[in-house]
Amino acid sequence: MMLGTTRLPSGLSQSPTPSSCGAQLLRSVSNVGSLSKMLERGQQLPEAYRWSSSETAAAEDDPAELEDEVVVPVINLAELDRSDERRKEICEEMRSACREWGAFQVVNHGVPDQVVERARRTSLDLFALPESDKLRAERPPGTLFGYGATRMASFFNRLMWSEAFTMMGSPHNNFEAYARKLCVHSEQDFCKSFEEYDKAMRGLALLITDLILHGLEASEERIHQHIRNFWGMIHMNFYPPCPSPSEAMGLASHTDSSCLTIMHQGSVGGLQVKRGDKWIAIKPVPGAFVIQVGDMLQLMSNNVFHSALHRALVNERFERLSLVYFFTPPPTVSICPIHPSKPLYRCLTWNEYLQVKAKLFMGALDHFLLPE
């Protein structure tokens, strides 16, 4: 479906409430990829990109060289259909990972390597376009789709060392509209690569969400009711090499508004999740996808799970691309805790949640807590 005819949640057109400093910086966002090429290693970053040492704590190590990370759970889906008992074991592994980490990795998930590689190559080609071409698809302030800084950037008084691009996935993808805006070499190849990736991610998201909700002992009816019509969004983050990574932040700490986030981070590390008071690097595993609990799944689980607080670091030598798939409720469907007895949150729509998060950011979920 074309961008102009896609009916989007009303909350996507409303601007967040940024700091005045953050709003001013957003108006001067430059092409970080071009800036990276201009600066020599060790050269001082522009002031707008320099974060305080407290904000970049534990960021001084090159994430591309970390060897001794605590490893988040890696769950093998190869034997999922071997027996009902094995399926229950995998459900319990996911439940445990969601409770203790808010994140895990999956391997042997059935997504063909060539589908991932085509999407990654197309994404890198997109970010390699001249800045003037990318700005044809610039993200309007306060909205989700297009090229530019992430929506949360307005809540920070420094710029992040990354570029981002977001498109709507199924059931209302806008790939064709963006192919035309960007004037890509082959609109057909652009659309095909993302259509294949979107289809594969939707299948994986449905499977994993189903397993996680079974781990919460939800009934088939409740599971079907919650996820059958969920939407998908494809989001790409590009992190060029940074001459002074200890001062920079690729993506500031945040939680995702989605139900579930599926990320392919490639071979270059940089993703970290907060566990307790420590940031833990998620070491890349060949062929794996990183799965993260989003705000909507925290609500649906009634705080059995907590959305993953995460961030992305940069390094001096290697560019990094993350392919992200957000699995979200439709904008106007009511989302409630799976088990109706003693709910901690009132029911809400994703449209309503986005509007509140655009104002309260990390305090958005607390806004929907029921009085004790």
For residue 99, tell me if it sits in a domain.
yes
For residue 12, tell me if it sits in a domain.
no
Find residue 328's DSSP bridge partners.
231
**Using one digit for the tens of pLDDT, what is the confidence trace for 184-233?**
878 899 999 999 999 999 999 999 999 999 999 888 887 887 788 899 99
User: What sign does the CA torsion over 6, 7, 9, 12 have?
Assistant: positive
The distance of Cα 44 from the centroid of its chain, to the nearest Å, equals 29
**Order of all β-strands in the sheet with 271-275:** 251-254, 310-312, 271-275, 278-281
* Residues identified as active-site: 320
The distance of Cα 143 from the centroid of its chain, to the nearest Å, equals 15
Nearest to 103 by CA among 149, 69, 134, 72: 72
Q: Is the peptide bond between 112 and the residue preceding it cis, with omega within 30 degrees of 0?
A: no
Residues in CB range of 284: below 8 A, 6 or more apart: 265, 266, 267, 268, 269
For residue 5, tell me if it sits in a domain.
no
170: CATH: 2.60.120.330
Which residues of the chain register pLDDT less than 70?
1-30, 40-42, 54-55, 57-70
What span, in angstroms and rounded, lies between the C-alpha atoms of 250 and 311?
A: 8
Q: Structure pTM?
A: 0.89
**pLDDT reported for residue 11:** 36
Give how many domains the chain has, as a whole number. Answer: 1
Coil, strand or helix at 184? coil
Q: Are 236 and 323 in contact (CB under 8 A)?
A: yes
Amino acid letter for position 277: D
For residue 349, tell me if it sits in a domain.
yes
**Using one digit for the tens of pLDDT, what is the confidence trace for 93-143?**
999 999 999 999 999 999 999 999 999 999 999 999 999 999 999 988 778
What span, in angstroms and rounded, lies between the C-alpha atoms of 245 and 190?
A: 32
**pLDDT reported for residue 306:** 96
For residue 344, tell me if it sits in a domain.
yes
Q: Which domain holds residue 279?
A: 17-368
- DSSP per-residue letters across 45-94: PPGGGPPPTTTTTT-SS-TTT---PPPPPEEE-TTTTT-HHHHHHHHHHH
For residue 7, tell me if it sits in a domain.
no
**Order of all β-strands in the sheet with 320-328:** 74-76, 103-107, 289-293, 260-264, 320-328, 231-239, 163-168, 146-148
Length of the chain counted residue by residue: 372
For residue 9, tell me if it sits in a domain.
no
**pLDDT reported for residue 3:** 31
Cβ density class 344-361: b for 16+ within 10 Å, e for less:
ebeebbbbbbbbbbbeeb
**pLDDT reported for residue 41:** 60
